[in-house]
A and B are shown apart, each in its own frame.
Chain A
């Protein structure tokens, strides 16, 4: 297998693209020179330099490569659902250059040895940067603390309990206190285990009609309240993952207004779909947390627009066909989203619900700040992690066109706006549609 990203970084000029500053959303039309893995020059100096290849960016936006705080890349684990190679390539196709891989691998990433294995797999098979998230508790069982120092020492950028709730408040409190001691960030999905028990859909109109076991709003808000209070007491750096309710966002806003170091994110599908998506028992939309009401969706969009929610995540969960082919309650939760995040977001922009600058911020500087990574920016000397996309062009997700092993994508029956033409990671071209490759050759 020839690895395109293993070649020497090329010297490339991107011409005609509109550059978007991810922090401010400001747009400028300038050429960009990529050399030796960095953004070597902008504007006139870039235009004058000799290059190996010129990429046409006409009609396209150029942003820093996107960052995803939460995706299940399925390796080590279930090869039927995906592999480091397939899912990282899919991520590059989606414009991502940095992806945090969830601890829900098999075995669970709850020890430094597993973290090292993941990093090794990523080094060998991933064209982009993969940052492991360690498990906050052993086996994600919510009972015993994981070797937190060992995990972060081996390269975990934060700890998460995957989609599993920390049911025991005493364990949660000790988990936070221990993490605080070592300056470790906890990324936790707020769900009260007993209130959510057995449920797999938003407790509301659809569960009333279809007779499904519901997860009430308070399953999230009770957990947010508990986590925020415990974070305040312990002083831990807390990030609330995948909020799904209007009240949850309001509580996060209030906590931030009080000056607490709490951040939060939302999964892309919660900005795009509601409980109605389950109306025909469509098992693709069996999600955890569940898709909620239109009111919740609007509040989540507002939360991204005003910056209360720092990041939009993919919550990418590729599945094999069998995992979704059963009566709804027996199917596995999750969507295969990583190739569609930007497109689904751009569709909300086109609908006038999401500001384009907020979308780009929540996929770049927002998540980077949560992880204390250097702020992504299109400036001279920056790492050439770049995403060149045409917001108006369309593509049609289908089982044949998706690179992810998981064909459980939310949109499969129509086209989506936003085609990522090129993704560079450290100056290496890690994805290209070929359309704008100019005089380049050999790209796959």
Chain B
């Protein structure tokens, strides 16, 4: 009875329905997600050429604003921005600025003085990218590179691109996501993307301690056992397990987790024979996945990494396009 419209939609889309920020997959319809995948496909061709750069973001400054450390995600964002011909500034803020007592709003004010056009943000707090998008001056695009447990929309979209490449589409697919759903921004974004793109079924397989309350409301079915959960699935997504989960009394031990949920060739045999195995990385071999599976013929983990660059090029160019169109309209209105 309180909030009416979808707040995610209003903040990240322009009046014409184009992207201007990329914060979450909530509020984005199938047409938009397909457009992102198609755009990424076109950039994959670019990646195969000898000269890999396109001038879409020439003259723009992209700031990688990482409040939480990450090598891989930041590198692929950096590479994606450079292939779009943008100037890139990497800022690993960690917690240092906040430790010095500077608030996130103050940090932002300082960064905006550098006249950047886009912030790629990773932060340990859910909603941080939304918050930053609500604070920056109009015209600056925010790309969420992972916020707390909330969302990691570029990761989910590169996973969708990988699934589409291998399965041809989404209809009729059964997908199992295994592991620590509770703390996973990747899983939340994937469940949303898979539902929007129209898969037949999303199953989550985990002990209750690693599932959010009301997880079914996200659009998935809970399976307690790997055998029933993997039965006949086309896609298996394994999630990374963080070591600190043992300390919070969420799990007894890595060994027990591996015994029950670790993906071995034996368990993989329960799935559809042509099932693909995915993992957002970095992999804990012998904790959530056996080496033989990670390196085996059904694994598409390295494709995911390659697709990461194309997806990030796609959302960065689309968001910048939306911001420029909005700015164009603004000045147009102003001069008329």
In B91-106, which residues have CB < 8 Å from any A CB? 103-105
Contact indicator B213/A281 (Cβ below 8 Å): no
Contact A211 B130 (CB under 8 A): no
B2 and A281 form a contact (CB under 8 A):
no
- With A209-B26, A276-B3, A281-B130 already in contact, the answer to whether A329 and B125 are too (CB < 8 A) is yes
Count the A-B residue pairs with Cβ separation under 8 angstroms: how many? 95
Do the beta carbons of B214 and A208 come within 8 Å of each other? Answer: yes
Contacts A327-B125, A328-B125; is A208 near B7 (CB within 8 Å)? no
Which residues of chain B are within 8 angstroms of A210 by Cβ–Cβ distance?
126-127, 150
Contact B2 A208 (CB under 8 A): no
Say how far A335's CB is from chain B's closest CB, in angstroms. 12
How many Å lie between the Cα of A277 and that of B2 in the bound state?
6
A276 touches B125 (CB 8 A): no
**Is the CB of B269 closer than 8 A to any CB of chain A?**
no
Residue of A nearest to B148 (CB): A211
Known contacts being A208-B214, A211-B151, is A330 close to B1, with CB within 8 Å?
no
Distance of A213 Cα from B149 Cα, bound (Å) = 9
A280 & B130 in contact (Cβ 8 Å cutoff): yes
Bound-state CA distance A370–B103 (Å) is 42
Closest Cβ–Cβ distance, residue A269 to chain B (whole Å)? 10
Q: Which of B127, B188, B213 contacts A204 (CB 8 A)?
A: B213
The reply to whether B213 and A214 form a contact with Cβ atoms under 8 Å apart is yes
- Please indicate the chain A residues that have their CB under 8 angstroms from the CB of B3 in the complex: 276-277, 279-280, 282
CB distance from B119 to the nearest CB of A (A): 14
A327 interface neighbour in B131, B188, B213, Cβ under 8 Å: B131
Contacts of B7 in A (CB 8 A): 279-282
Task: For the complex, give the distance between the alpha carbons of A292 and B126 in Å.
Answer: 19
With contacts A203-B213, A214-B213, A276-B2 taken as known, whether A326 is within 8 angstroms of B11 at the C-beta atoms is no
A322 touches B188 (CB 8 A): no
B1→A216 contact, CB < 8 A: no
Q: Which residues of B contact A211 (CB under 8 A)?
A: 126, 147-151, 185, 188, 212
Q: How far is the CB of B43 from chain A (nearest CB, A)?
A: 29
Q: How far is the CA of A279 from the CA of B135 in the complex (A)?
A: 18
B54 interface contact, C-beta 8 A = no
Contact flags (1/0) for B125-165 with A, using CB distance below 8 Å? 11110110001000000000001111100000000000000
A210-B150, A211-B148, A280-B8 known; A328+B1 contact, CB < 8 A: no
Instruction: Give Cα A271 to B131, complex, Å.
Output: 27
Contact partner of A326 (CB less than 8 A), chosen from B2, B26, B104, B148, is B104
The answer to whether A280 and B213 touch across the interface, beta carbons within 8 angstroms, is no
Q: B11 to chain A: which residues have CB within 8 Å?
A: 280
In the complex the two chains form, what is the Cα distance from A273 to B2 in whole Å? 6
CA distance A329 to B7 in the complex (A): 18
Q: Report whether A273 and B125 are in contact in the complex, using a CB–CB cutoff of 8 Å.
A: no
Does any Cβ of A come within 8 Å of B115's Cβ? no
Whether B214 and A328, one on each chain, are in contact in the complex, defined by CB atoms closer than 8 angstroms, is no
Q: Flag if B149 contacts A325 (CB, 8 Å).
A: no
Enumerate chain A residues within 8 angstroms of B217, measured Cβ to Cβ. 205, 208-209
CB distance from A330 to the nearest CB of B (A): 7
B218 at the interface (CB under 8 A from A): yes
Please tell me if B123 contacts chain A, counting CB pairs below 8 Å. Answer: yes
Q: Judging by beta carbons under 8 Å apart, are B127 and A328 in contact?
A: yes
Set of chain A residues within 8 Å of B148, measured between Cβ atoms: 211-212, 327, 329
Interface string of A183-218 (1 = CB under 8 A from B): 000000000000000000001110111111110100
A and B contact pairs by CB, cutoff 8 A, 13 listed = A204-B213, A205-B217, A209-B188, A211-B151, A212-B150, A279-B6, A322-B103, A322-B105, A327-B125, A327-B131, A327-B147, A328-B126, A329-B125
B interface list, Cβ under 8 A from A = 1-3, 6-8, 11, 26, 103-105, 123, 125-128, 130-131, 135, 147-151, 185, 188, 212-215, 217-218
What 8 A-B pairs have minimum CB-CB distances, sorted nearest first? Answer: A280-B7, A211-B149, A327-B125, A281-B127, A211-B150, A208-B212, A327-B128, A277-B2
Q: Can you name 7 extra interface pairs (CB under 8 A) apart from A208-B217, A212-B148, A280-B130?
A: A207-B212, A207-B214, A209-B188, A272-B2, A274-B2, A280-B8, A282-B3
